[in-house]
């Protein structure tokens, strides 16, 4: 990396750390310059505006998320193994974030009523991540590891809820054990959409034996 790129990367790391704690809206060029012991114009030279900085921070976050959650999960076999890997890596990532906050989750509240380029970027990222989850769950259905009538969007909805409530309980309520509670909640979802115990088949088998 050239010097300029190194500086930009260092600013982004600091900016992401600040945004995780104070929200993307709490991120200002002034605070960031102070943190980096740079002049404001020095920071401005790398990011033309506050909005550009916020979007760059979101992209920086997404890059890390893809590296630590999505890519390692793609090494797992298609189907349920990959769905479990995606959730497992996501959970590990979220548990780390319970220390400092997740800018996708805090951003959801900051930007839900605030139209503009930052909101658009955030929505696009969340949708893209939900598409990855949907694809993996769809493959598990195709492989017969989840029931054929599984509503894939419903499963994504449920799993997203688990991560949101984990973040809520760990950060707001400081409730211990939120991560293992989240893991159990995920297993309940998989059990729900998984192939059912064959009640009818057993009953029919019983009757067949009677004849």
Q: If binding is defined by CB under 8 A, does position 31 make contact with a copy of itself? A: no
Instruction: State which residue, 20 or 38, has the beta carbon closest to a copy of itself.
Output: 20
Q: Which of residues 125-184 bind a copy of itself (CB under 8 A)?
A: 126-127, 151, 153-154, 157-158, 160-162, 164-165, 168-169, 171-173, 181-182, 184
> Residue 47 contacts by C-beta under 8 Å, 6 or more apart in sequence?
11, 29, 53, 56
Q: How far is the CB of 21 from a copy of itself (least distance, A)?
A: 6
Taking residues 72 to 111 in sequence order and writing x for each that binds a copy of itself by CB under 8 A, - otherwise, the string is ----------------------------xx---xx-xxxx
Residues that contact a copy of itself, how many (by CB under 8 A): 49
Instruction: State which residue, 1 or 127, has the beta carbon closest to a copy of itself.
Output: 127
Q: For 173, what's the count of Cα atoms within 13 Å in the CB-facing half-sphere?
A: 11
Q: How far is the CB of 127 from a copy of itself (least distance, A)?
A: 7
Q: What are phi and psi of 80, to 5 degrees?
A: -60, -35
Q: How far is the CB of 88 from a copy of itself (least distance, A)?
A: 18
Q: b/e string for 107-125 if b means 16 or more Cβ within 10 A?
A: beebbeeeeeebbebbeeb
Q: Which of residues 190-209 bind a copy of itself (CB under 8 A)?
A: 191-192, 197, 199, 202-203, 205-207, 209
Binding site for a copy of itself (CB under 8 A): 21-23, 100-101, 105-106, 108-113, 122-123, 126-127, 151, 153-154, 157-158, 160-162, 164-165, 168-169, 171-173, 181-182, 184-185, 188-189, 191-192, 197, 199, 202-203, 205-207, 209-210
């Amino acid at each position: 990396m050239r010097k300029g790129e190194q500086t930009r990367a260092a600013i982004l790391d600091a900016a992401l750390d600040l945004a995780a704690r104070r929200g993307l809206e709490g991120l200002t060029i002034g605070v960031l310059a102070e943190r980096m012991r740079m002049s404001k114009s020095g920071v401005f030279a790398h990011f033309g505006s506050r909005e550009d900085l916020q979007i760059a921070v979101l992209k920086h976050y997404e890059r890390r998320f893809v590296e630590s959650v999505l890519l390692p999960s793609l090494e797992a076999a298609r189907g349920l193994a990959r769905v479990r890997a995606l959730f497992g890596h996501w959970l590990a990532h979220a548990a780390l974030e319970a220390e400092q906050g997740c800018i996708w989750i805090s951003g959801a509240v900051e930007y839900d009523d605030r139209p503009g380029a930052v909101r658009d970027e955030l929505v696009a990222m969340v949708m893209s991540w939900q598409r990855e989850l949907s694809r993996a769950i769809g493959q598990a259905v195709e492989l017969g590891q989840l029931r054929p009538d599984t509503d894939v969007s419903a499963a994504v909805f449920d799993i997203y809820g688990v991560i949101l409530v984990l973040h809520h309980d760990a950060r707001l309520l400081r409730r211990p054990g939120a991560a293992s509670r989240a893991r159990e909640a995920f297993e309940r979802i998989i059990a729900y959409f998984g192939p059912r115990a064959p009640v009818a088949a057993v009953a029919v088998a019983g009757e067949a034996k009677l004849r």
